[in-house]
Structure 1
Amino acid sequence: MDPEHAGSGSEGAKTGWRWKQMGNEEKKAAIREEMKRMQRLPHNSSYASHRLRVLDKIQQLLSLPRTTSQDEELELLFSGLRL
């Protein structure tokens, strides 16, 4: 878990709700900001390199057309990232 975002389960629920309320462009902007933050961490950080790979994959998934069930599953994954 990201120590900066560690907290109670209710914080995760709030984050998930907030993520669902965002539009596609807002989500992309949040991902870009998180990528910039990760790039400021040491290059040999396994946490940062893994998180960057996950964020890159999210960018790819956001650009693909999805079914409703795929969209719901993706929303659950996004909310777990706590961006």
Structure 2
Amino acid sequence: MGHEEKKAAVQEEMGRMNQLPAHSSYATHRLRVLNKLLQLMSIQRTASQDEELELLFAGLSL
């Protein structure tokens, strides 16, 4: 999966999470993780940040 495909998948998932009830702790947590993914994707990353990014993607099963 390329960079743009990953970004699109994250944004699509954010759209789904925003449709859930605002008080949903699941949606709140998942949105926090998705925002962290976008943040890591937008910066020049260190090796440890690259690893964290890949682990986040693996954990989300996007």
Q: State the TM-score, normalized to the length of structure 1.
A: 0.66
What whole-Å deviation, never above 9, does each CA across 1:28-70 have from its counterpart, x for those lacking one?
0000000000011111101001111110111011011123453
Higher relative contact order (CA 8 A, sep 6+): 1
Q: Provide the C-alpha distance between the structure 2 equivalents of 1:56 and 1:76, rounded to a whole number of angstroms.
A: 14
Q: One-letter code of the match for 1:54? A: V
Over 4 Å off, 4+ runs: none
Query: Is 1:31 aligned to 2:43, yes or no?
Result: no
| Secondary structure of the corresponding residue to residue 6 of structure 2 | helix
Aligned partner of 1:70 in structure 2 is 49
Aligned residues: 62
Query: Is 1:42 aligned to 2:21, yes or no?
Result: yes
Aligned partner of 1:61 in structure 2 is 40
**Runs of 5+ unmatched residues, structure 1:** 1-21
Aligned partner of 1:79 in structure 2 is 58
**Runs of 5+ unmatched residues, structure 2:** none
